Amino acid sequence: MSRDFDVCVIGSGAGGGPVAYRLAEAGYSVVVLEKGPWLREQHFTKDELACCRRAVYTPELRDEQHVIEQADDATGWQSTPTQASGWSFWNGNCVGGSSNFMSGYFHRLKPVDFKLRSTFGPIAGANVVDWPIEYADLEPYYDRVERLVGVSGKADTHANSEPRSSSDFPFPPTLEHPISARIDQAAAQLGFHALRVPRAILSQPAMGRRGCEYSGFCGSFGCSSGAKGSSRAALLDHAVASGRCEIRAHAKVYRIASDARGRISSVDYFDHDGQSHRVDAQIYVVACQAIESSRLLLASVGPRFPDGLANNHAQVGRNLLFSGGGAGSGDLVFEDHDEAATAAMRVVGPFVNRALDDWYTLDDPQLGRAKGGIIEFLWDHPNAVVRAENAKWRDGELVWGKPLKRRLEAWFRTDRTLNFEVFNDWLPNDDCFVALDGQVRDRWDSPVARVRIGAHPQDQRVGRFLADKGELLLRQLGARRVASSVGPAPPANLQAGGCRFGSAAEDAVLDADCRAHEVENLFVSDGSFMPTGGSVPYTFTIYANSFRVADRIVAQLGGPRGSA
Partner 1 sequence: MIRRSGPRSEPVEPAESFAAVRDALLSRRRFLIQSAGGTIALLFGLRSVGAAEDPDPWPTLDAVLRHLLPSEPDSPGAEEIHALDYLRFVVGDQKVSAEDRQFIVQGSQWLNQLSQQTYARAFVDLDDASRELLLRRTAASAAGENWLSTLLSYLFEALLTAPAYGGNPNGIGWRWLSYVPGFPLPGPGTRYPELPL
Does 188 help bind partner 1 (rule: CB under 8 A)?
Answer: no
Measured in degrees and rounded to the nearest 5, phi and psi for residue 149 equal: -80, -30
* Residues of this chain, 221-240, that bind partner 1 according to CB under 8 A: 221, 224
3, 87, 190, 564: residue in contact with partner 1 (rule CB under 8 A): 87
Give the integer Cα–Cα distance in Å for 524 and 294.
Answer: 10
Does 400 help bind partner 1 (rule: CB under 8 A)?
Answer: yes
* Cα-Cα end-to-end distance for the chain: 24
Give 424's contacts (C-beta < 8 A, 6+ positions apart). 323, 324, 325, 371, 372, 373, 374, 459, 462, 463, 466, 535
Task: State which residue, 159 or 398, has the beta carbon closest to partner 1.
Answer: 398
Residue 132 CB, shortest distance to partner 1, in Å, is 28
Does 73 help bind partner 1 (rule: CB under 8 A)?
Answer: yes
Binding window for partner 1 (CB under 8 A); candidates: 66-74, 277-285, 504-512, 545-553: 66-74
User: What angle do the packed helices 384-391 and 402-413 form, to 10 degrees?
Assistant: 130
Give the integer Cα–Cα distance in Å for 380 and 339.
Answer: 21
* Residues of this chain, 97-116, that bind partner 1 according to CB under 8 A: 103, 105
Does 307 help bind partner 1 (rule: CB under 8 A)?
Answer: no
* Residues of this chain, 456-495, that bind partner 1 according to CB under 8 A: 485-494
Give the integer Cα–Cα distance in Å for 561 and 553.
Answer: 13
Does 333 help bind partner 1 (rule: CB under 8 A)?
Answer: no
Binding window for partner 1 (CB under 8 A); candidates: 256-264, 406-414, 444-452, 527-535: 406-414
Residue 156 CB, shortest distance to partner 1, in Å, is 21
The arrangement of strands across the sheet holding 373-379 comes to 194-196, 354-356, 373-379, 415-424, 324-333, 480-486
Give 47's contacts (C-beta < 8 A, 6+ positions apart). 221
Task: State which residue, 160 or 342, has the beta carbon closest to partner 1.
Answer: 342
Residue 549 CB, shortest distance to partner 1, in Å, is 25
Binding window for partner 1 (CB under 8 A); candidates: 136-144, 210-218, 279-287, 310-318: 210-218
Task: Supply angle C-alpha 491, 497, 500, rounded to 5.
Answer: 170
Residue 429 CB, shortest distance to partner 1, in Å, is 15
Give 260's contacts (C-beta < 8 A, 6+ positions apart). 303, 304
* Residues of this chain, 361-390, that bind partner 1 according to CB under 8 A: 376, 378, 381-382, 384-386, 388-390
Does 401 help bind partner 1 (rule: CB under 8 A)?
Answer: yes
* Residues of this chain, 247-306, that bind partner 1 according to CB under 8 A: none
Contact string 407-436 vs partner 1 (x = CB under 8 A): -xx--xx-----x-x-x-------------
Residue 228 CB, shortest distance to partner 1, in Å, is 14
Does 394 help bind partner 1 (rule: CB under 8 A)?
Answer: no
12, 29, 88, 546: residue in contact with partner 1 (rule CB under 8 A): 88
How many residues does the structure list for the chain? 564
Give 278's contacts (C-beta < 8 A, 6+ positions apart). 266, 267, 268
Contact 18, 546 (CB under 8 A): yes
Q: How far is CA 156 from the centre of its chain?
A: 25
* Residues of this chain, 338-357, that bind partner 1 according to CB under 8 A: 348
Give the integer Cα–Cα distance in Å for 462 and 376.
Answer: 15
Task: State which residue, 71 or 557, has the beta carbon closest to partner 1.
Answer: 71
Other CB atoms within a 10 A radius of the CB of residue 278 amount to: 12
* Residues of this chain, 143-182, that bind partner 1 according to CB under 8 A: none
Other CB atoms within a 10 A radius of the CB of residue 427 amount to: 24
Give the integer Cα–Cα distance in Å for 362 and 452.
Answer: 29
Residue 49 CB, shortest distance to partner 1, in Å, is 5
Q: How far is CA 385 from the centre of its chain?
A: 25
4, 27, 71, 476: residue in contact with partner 1 (rule CB under 8 A): 71
Contact string 39-58 vs partner 1 (x = CB under 8 A): x--xx-xxxxxx-xxxxx--
402, 445, 558, 563: residue in contact with partner 1 (rule CB under 8 A): 402
Q: What is the dihedral of CA 240, 493, 126, 500, to 10 degrees?
A: -10
Residue 197 CB, shortest distance to partner 1, in Å, is 11
Does 405 help bind partner 1 (rule: CB under 8 A)?
Answer: yes
Does 70 help bind partner 1 (rule: CB under 8 A)?
Answer: yes
Give the integer Cα–Cα distance in Å for 374 and 494.
Answer: 15
Residue 399 CB, shortest distance to partner 1, in Å, is 9
Task: State which residue, 368 or 457, has the beta carbon closest to partner 1.
Answer: 457
Number of residues interacting with partner 1: please give it, by CB under 8 A: 79
Task: Supply angle C-alpha 153, 156, 162, rounded to 5.
Answer: 95
235, 537, 547, 548: residue in contact with partner 1 (rule CB under 8 A): 537
398, 558, 562, 563: residue in contact with partner 1 (rule CB under 8 A): 398
Task: State which residue, 33 or 422, has the beta carbon closest to partner 1.
Answer: 422
Contact 240, 17 (CB under 8 A): no
